[in-house]
Structure 1
Amino acid sequence: MMKKNYITAFDGLRAVGVLAVIAYHLYPQTVQGGYLGVVLFFVLSGYLITDLLSREYRKNQTIDLKGFYLRRFKRLMPLLVTVFLVTSLYLTAFQPNMLNQMRMSFVSALLSFYNWWQIAKGGSYFANLMAEAPFKHVYSLAIEAQFYMIWPVILLLAFKLIKRRSLLIFSLLLISILSGLEMALLYQPGQDPTRVYYGTDTRLFSLLIGASAALAFPSQDQRLAKLVRARQKGLNRLFLLAMLLMLASLIYLSGQSDVIYRGGMFSFSLLSALLIVLSTQANLYLTRFLSNPLFRYLGERSYGLYLWQMPVFTLFELKFPGATGSWLVLLELILLLGLTEIFYRLVEKPARSVKWQSFKEKGRVFFATPATIGKAVGISSFYTLAFIGIFAMIGIFQAPDLSYAQETIAAQLSQNQTKEKLGQASMSQETIETLSQQYEVSSQVFVQEEPIAIVGDSMIAMTYDHLRQAFPTAYIDGIIGRSGEHGVPMLEETLAQIPDAKKVVISLGINTDGPVILNRNTIDQMMSVLADKEVYWMTINLSQSQYTWTDQVNAELQAASQTYDNFHLIDWYQATIGQESAYLAEDMTHPNQAGQVLYTKMILEALAQ
């Protein structure tokens, strides 16, 4: 359906996209492809912006760039700033250890380079390394904002210089293919894919596919309308098939699959473009379904739902660590919807409609005159929010900035996880004596007659140099962001490389699969793979970090050690609790130099027993 030039079915697609992303963050094991909702948003943004600018150019033979940028600013920035301020105020009052790097997160989001900042400092979208969990989803807004900055200018020049529309469409599709190829080439299986996931260049194809679709099939295209009248039954079937394929992708296409970065995301963008084009036709059945009141309601608030979801889910998890009950999920969703609705009426909707000339002339502020509340209440709301905003800004700009230290940590992790996994060197007696003094252990612990594997997450990666020094012939494999869901594939790869390993050291538990921490089911699956091995598992200590699942993970590991005769705990938690400043790096997660020595010493002593 269309209301003037407004296509209500697009609200339905927005609802599908934001619901997929929310479901992915709540149930990552069930809705494995929910992150693709962001791809749908990209394609839809490319289509809408290009369609809007094309109609403006056809009408006026030019594009009002100033007006476009002002509309985008009013649409995106007021709510984005509000989410940062409200979340920062909460953190300042109740969770100050989460404020690390808030200043740079805020500035980079406001200036729309958050994704490149993360790439430059080695941040990982897939690892809980930095204290940016409430805002790491704003990378997508940065990519869109960068597109909005340059696309109107490029499109205006293209309209003036390229007379054949087909040539422009072909050029955009060619650039889209090159962007998709870049993603495929830069992606390295088994490595953290954050560079290709965050990069504007490697995600550009989704936006340009949407733009190409808008140029080929504009929203008011009479040719397509005639085709629908002539082939309505067939197009209804095509629409249904495309929607079913999208839903299947949102459920089953895991972000850990190689195929996603080697054509899968590109293909999903094409599928999204097909659905968008078909949604412009009011006579199709699914167009009417996508225009239902519930989807329209959610679609109109999809921006707010997307922005609020990560702060709500992250802070809720901190308040109720390990809680997975359905009533708690319902409470999260109610809180998310409530915040979205409140600030939709107080900020988002008024900001879109405010006339900035009126603001300059009459001294009005959009908070003061929302259409849905009285003037006196509106003015009071404005001053209350302004007062709150001041305190939130104080929290942001007084937050500790450990960027240099954490960039160093990230760089070390990235470097170490690419080092040789299988060692070959042997140790001389002189070297053994030197190492026994360095690690304060008996020289006998270096007598390693059986093959050893040491595998896991970034704790292993951080300690790689010391581990390689102490275990020169061991198989050592530590990867940033590894969590329980990667455990079985990790072990299968390990045993394929070193099948005769008798002892396996594991470090998993500092990362989560969305809200799911390392659990007994995962441990049991991994132990079934290692049934004939001696397993040594490191406990975790995140007690001084922003993450709260230390006790839950360690309890699971303790229970497993009492169930399996071949399961042995190496108690990193007990060795470092209360001494985090001495043994942990600035992120209060990974070991510093002294911690790496202790970490290695504990493994040496455990394997020697």
Structure 2
Amino acid sequence: MKNSYSKKMLYGIEQNSPAQQYIPGLDALRTFAIIGVTLFHIFPDTVKGGYLGVSLFFVLTGYLLAYTSKSEWETGSFNLIDYYIKRIKRIYPSLLIVVFTTVGIYHFLAPDAILAIRSEVLSVILGYNNWWQITQNADYFTRITNASPFTHLWFMGIELQYYLAWPVIFLIYTRTVRLRGKSADGAIFIAVLGIVTAVLMPMMYQSGQDITRLYYGTDTRVYALLFGAAMGLYSKDGKNITMLGGYGLIKFLVFALLLIMVIAAYWLMDGENAFTYQGGMLIITVAFCILLDIIADHSLNIGKYLDISPFRWIGKRSYGIFLWQYPVIFLFNHKEWNQQPFYELIELTAIILLTIWLDAVLMYISRYKLSYIGNRLVIIQCAVFMVITVSGISLMGYGCKEIVVSASNKKIDTQLQAKLAENTAALEEQNNLNNQTDITDVPDVPQVKLDGAICIGDSVMLGSATEIRQALPASYIDAEVSRYVGGALDVAKRLNGQGRLGNIIVIALGTNGPIAGQERYEAQTRELLAYLGSERQIFWVNVYCPDLKWQNVNNEYLAKIAAQHRNITIVDWYSLISKHPEWLVKDGIHPNDEGTVQYAKLLHDSMVQALAAQTVIVHHEKE
């Protein structure tokens, strides 16, 4: 039977070609993929492995793209220009509508959330968003819904890059077939290429590292697309094997077992676990390939049983559902609507309604008759869409100033941004000074020396840099926006190589992501402390970021390591600032002018008191 949707302008991640036989069950697989991704985005702490649905999308895209390309090539109808035009028509109408409509809506509802959106939107449209996010240290699993309305579109970056490269890969396939005379040999070449890229992730993984590069990298994720492509190039019509036959029954049982395994992985395979990158994601991707192979076997008819109306409806609209997720979820978090009862259900309803609206607009734009919505209503919807979208486009051109991202991964307001930039420039000059000063103005403590104190921190410290230099004139401050604990070790090694790393170290990290709760984070902290050694006095400023899930985990872990190491003292910023929210700027994390003074004073007083107490202890021990 012919695909009943083939005469319509379909939007979505690679659909079945109109020229090809409809494969029952593929919409069910798309549904399975989008359900996992959606549940992960809405319930990240419950459906921990739902992100694996993205790998299934990759496999399906690779399969259908290769399948249709092969069929067109065999009939002499494959054309490079037509190929790119088809890809553009399938991807960009929906993508552009969602992106610019989102920017327009945010202009009215949350303008402060799109202050720094221009470079990100350009990376989405031009197809390199995954690499852009890598440069931003945009950890997908620590940021979840706090980063941007477009955080999830790293996926489109890999898709678009693959679309661009596919003609070259397909050319190699066709040349191989012509030389060898066998279609299977070309498919095997693609499969081998997939295997080679599949081992990159396990090989590149190192305990304690930031997994952003591995998760977002085109080179470490393209294997799923190549595996799907190899299957599409090798695909044949299924043989007449009945379900009751031994081979068919085995396939059915394998299908059921793999489906159970993948569902379990959706719930259990945490994206922050080492196993995910040491082979777990690869195993699940292979499972997806086997599920696809069994469904594509027409003789088994499993796809026919799965080809029910709800699955077809969701599967056909999986791309739209995917595109609308983060814009909705991020807005709910930004406006704190997620404090309302049943907000998850409201989010899901909004995503579905926006997807239906997108479907209607696309159908109307493509001038096809709508059978389920009156034309007058669609005209009104399109008029509203035009107003919002034009607003979004205009904002992209004129209204979106480039502002750096804050330590909490929220957008920094203009005043704070200016201060951070000013402090960054000032530190470059002041850190070249080597003045040393005896510091103490705390009553009832002996005179102590804070000569050469090294301060390593993120934007919270950077915002207070001027006040810290006043409180600790002899200090050297190295602070930057969005720094994670993993970046502190490189700073310490560099300063040590320059002969600057003294005996007093101040660390203010832990706001931008977890430093505990997962082995890779704790390994970063242990490695840093091991490098600094037990002879140096370490002062670690704990964190205040109440909207982020790692605040309490990080502070508890810091208290724990301080109890285990005599040379570590906790500077309790959390206890002080939690009583004085008026000392914070709008984001609720960075200190304002009064807050920076108090931050520096707390740091100074905590250091002096701790060092004075140790001086007294040493004096008594000598006596």
Normalised by the length of structure 1, the TM-score is 0.72
> Structure 2 vs 1, CA of residues 166 and 380 (structure 1 numbering), >3 Å: closer, same or farther?
same
CA distance in 2, matches of 1:178, 1:233: 33
Out of 539, 544, 549, the residue aligned to residue 517 of structure 1 is: 549
1:310 alignment partner AA: Y
Unaligned runs of 5+ in 2: 4-19, 411-432, 461-481, 610-623
Match of 2:68?
52
- Matched positions, count: 529
Deviations 1:269-296 (A, max 9, x none): 1111111111123564753553232222
CA distance in 1, matches of 2:457, 2:129: 35
Out of 106, 110, 113, the residue aligned to residue 95 of structure 1 is: 110
Match of 1:507?
542
Q: Does 1:316 align with 2:332?
A: yes
1:508 Cα deviation from its structure 2 partner? 4.3
> Structure 2 vs 1, CA of residues 485 and 316 (structure 1 numbering), >3 Å: closer, same or farther?
farther
Match of 2:439?
436
Match of 2:190?
172
CA distance in 2, matches of 1:207, 1:310: 24
Match of 2:221?
203
Q: Does 1:401 align with 2:398?
A: no
Out of 496, 517, 536, the residue aligned to residue 486 of structure 1 is: 517
Q: Is the 8 A contact 1:101 1:400 kept in 2?
A: yes
Deviations 1:490-548 (A, max 9, x none): 56885796798999845345497xxx634768877886787788984655xxxxxxxxx
Deviations 1:227-249 (A, max 9, x none): 99552211111001111111121
Q: Is the 8 A contact 1:506 1:538 kept in 2?
A: yes
CA distance in 2, matches of 1:316, 1:164: 54
> Structure 2 vs 1, CA of residues 511 and 274 (structure 1 numbering), >3 Å: closer, same or farther?
farther
2:24 alignment partner AA: T
| Bigger Rg over Cα | 2
> Structure 2 vs 1, CA of residues 495 and 112 (structure 1 numbering), >3 Å: closer, same or farther?
closer
CA distance in 1, matches of 2:199, 2:448: 50
Alignment of 1:515-594 (within 5 A): 517-518=549-550, 536=570, 569-571=575-577, 574=580, 577=583
Match of 1:233?
249
Deviations 1:333-385 (A, max 9, x none): 111111112212222x456xx3xxxxxxxxxxx4x864544444444443442
Match of 2:157?
142
Alignment of 1:23-42 (within 5 A): 23-42=39-58
CA distance in 2, matches of 1:125, 1:445: 44
CA distance in 2, matches of 1:331, 1:130: 16
SS class of match (1:398)? helix
2:514 alignment partner AA: S
CA distance in 2, matches of 1:443, 1:86: 63
> Structure 2 vs 1, CA of residues 61 and 454 (structure 1 numbering), >3 Å: closer, same or farther?
closer
Match of 2:382?
382
1:126 Cα deviation from its structure 2 partner? 4.4
Out of 288, 291, 298, the residue aligned to residue 275 of structure 1 is: 291
CA distance in 2, matches of 1:260, 1:388: 41
Alignment of 1:93-492 (within 5 A): 93-120=108-135, 122-128=137-143, 133-162=148-177, 163-216=181-234, 218=235, 220-223=236-239, 231-282=247-298, 284=300, 287-288=303-304, 290-320=306-336, 323=339, 325=341, 327-347=342-362, 349=363, 354=366, 366=367, 370-402=370-402, 433-434=436-437, 436=439, 444=447, 458=483, 472=503, 478=509, 481-483=512-514, 486=517
CA distance in 1, matches of 2:199, 2:506: 33
1:488 Cα deviation from its structure 2 partner? 8.7
Q: Is the 8 A contact 1:47 1:213 kept in 2?
A: yes
2:223 alignment partner AA: F
Q: Is the 8 A contact 1:119 1:195 kept in 2?
A: yes
> Structure 2 vs 1, CA of residues 460 and 253 (structure 1 numbering), >3 Å: closer, same or farther?
closer
1:172 Cα deviation from its structure 2 partner? 1.7
Normalised by the length of structure 2, the TM-score is 0.71
Q: Is the 8 A contact 1:114 1:142 kept in 2?
A: yes
Q: Is the 8 A contact 1:482 1:508 kept in 2?
A: no
CA distance in 1, matches of 2:509, 2:551: 20
Deviations 1:298-333 (A, max 9, x none): 1111111111111111101122266274x1111111
Identity %: 25
1:10 alignment partner AA: L
